[in-house]
Structure 1
Amino acid sequence: MKLTCVVSVLCLLKYQNVFGSEPICSRFDYEEKLLKKLVEMDATMSRMQDRLTELEDNVAACKCGVQGVAFYAYLSANVCPGVHQILVFDVLVTNVGKAYNAHDGAFVVPVNGTYAFAVSLFSQGKKYVGVEIVVNGDVKGEVFADSQEINDVHSSSASVVVDVNVGDHVYVRRGADSTCGILSQASRGRTYFSGWLLKY
């Protein structure tokens, strides 16, 4: 009934002189066109609602799944690793997200994003040491500390910012151009590895 009234009003507005010689609006013709438009609008609204629900679900999943990712660990003692041996930073101070493994030295990326990784390295006296920050076998950064000329402790540090994906392995290993005398002592300095999520 309401639809018929609307169509009638539209017809009257379009054809002011319904009793004259101008053609009279067909009620059924306009009802058909109006219904077609309503069906199209309903289908469009349904698609938009489905897309909105999908986006809301994605946002909720991101917010619930990522509470923050950060870790900081250091070597408990001096070490003498072999060439390209992974350093295991066995004293774990911070591990938000539980992505760093203090048993094998690897940080396994829990969520896609941009991360910062930092390494601080100390060399024993009369030694020169170098390590690499590695992602899935690709070297992303290097650190070198040289105490070869004197019997003293030297330190160096480096940081990198990289885009990584879920499941990528990030770790620190001894470089090829290096002796094995890495120092980590409470009284002289700790060799450490840290990382944190910047943006996902």
Structure 2
Amino acid sequence: MEKDFLKRETDLLQEINQLKDKYGDDGITLEEDQENEDAQNGYTEFIQHSEKEDTRSPLKERRSSIVREAVETEVAFYATHTQHDIRHLGQGQIIAFDQTVTNIGNAYNTHHGAVVAPVDGTYVFHVTLMGTLHNASNHYYTADIDVDDVGYSKFYIVPYEQSSHMFVIELKSGSAVSVKNGRVDDGIIGKHYSAFSGFLLYQHFQPPAVVGK
């Protein structure tokens, strides 16, 4: 009886040891535990490798280069006249300032005397004139600032005194701005006493087209 009990106890202990060897203390087989450990190590190595590649990834570099900024057209000019006395101008004749000190973007043309807007935008212009009279009975020199041949602003100037106008205007691409003499045979004093200048304040960009609508 005692021998049978001892044999059963020995067999039970061997069975318990076998179960421990097979499942371990947490109920997971040693083979499964090893597989989990290998998987965890592999995942850690994958994350570390991905982080290293991300720092030099061409795709990441390409994504950063996709960011674009709108490039605004540059327009700025300052023009005066090389002659001192510009006399006997015609009525409505464009005063061509034949010397450009600054002409960024080449929007101002010294031959026909007009500045042509290269792009849609808001522009700032400044005109200074010193006028002279052919007919002494006239008391003021007159001139006009035209936008596409439409009067936009007027000058009434005491002879041999200066007057200036500054104006802000929205223009379409191709619009022309010029300074025109008022009465026939009147004139201006050049040599930096009279000048025409302007610049593009900001360009008007078209909104992007929406595809699929």
TM-score, normalised relative to structure 1: 0.60
Q: 1:158 to 1:179 in 2, by over 3 A?
A: farther
Q: 1:161 to 1:106 in 2, by over 3 A?
A: same
Matched, 1:114 2:122: yes
**1:136-155 deviation per Cα after TM superposition (whole angstroms, max 9, x unaligned):** 011111222113xxxxx211
Shift of 1:159: 1.3
3-state SS of 1:133 partner: strand
**Identity, % of aligned positions:** 35
Matched, 1:191 2:191: no
Task: Output the amino acid matched with 1:194.
Answer: S
Mapped contact 2:162–2:193 kept (Cα < 8 A) = no
3-state SS of 2:79 partner: strand
Counterpart of 1:97 (choices 89, 94, 105) is: 105
Matched, 1:162 2:169: yes
Q: Which moved more, 1:118-127 or 1:87-96?
A: 118-127
Once residues 202 and 151 of structure 2 are traced to their aligned partners in structure 1, the CA distance between those partners, rounded to angstroms, is 22
Query: Which is greater in Rg?
Result: 2
Shift of 1:75: 1.6
TM-score, normalised relative to structure 2: 0.56
- Aligned partner of 2:78 in structure 1 is 72
Query: 5+ unaligned residues in a row in structure 2: which ranges?
Result: 1-65, 204-213
Mapped contact 1:90–1:103 kept (Cα < 8 A) = yes
Shift of 1:90: 0.1
Counterpart of 2:142 (choices 100, 121, 130) is: 130
Counterpart of 1:144 (choices 148, 156, 162) is: 156
Matched, 1:180 2:210: no
Mapped contact 1:121–1:144 kept (Cα < 8 A) = no
Q: Where does 1:50-69 land on structure 2 (aligned, <5 Å)? A: 60=69, 62-63=70-71, 66=73, 68-69=74-75
**1:7-30 deviation per Cα after TM superposition (whole angstroms, max 9, x unaligned):** xxxxxxxxxxxxxxxxxxxxxxxx
Task: Output the amino acid matched with 1:197.
Answer: L
Q: 1:100 to 1:170 in 2, by over 3 A?
A: same
3-state SS of 2:86 partner: coil
Mapped contact 2:145–2:151 kept (Cα < 8 A) = yes
Query: 5+ unaligned residues in a row in structure 1: which ranges?
Result: 1-55, 148-152
**1:87-114 deviation per Cα after TM superposition (whole angstroms, max 9, x unaligned):** 1000111001111101110111011111
- Aligned positions, number: 133
Aligned CA-pair RMSD = 2.3
Task: Output the amino acid matched with 2:120.
Answer: N
Mapped contact 2:130–2:189 kept (Cα < 8 A) = yes
**1:76-134 deviation per Cα after TM superposition (whole angstroms, max 9, x unaligned):** 22212110000100011100111110111011101111111111011237673221111
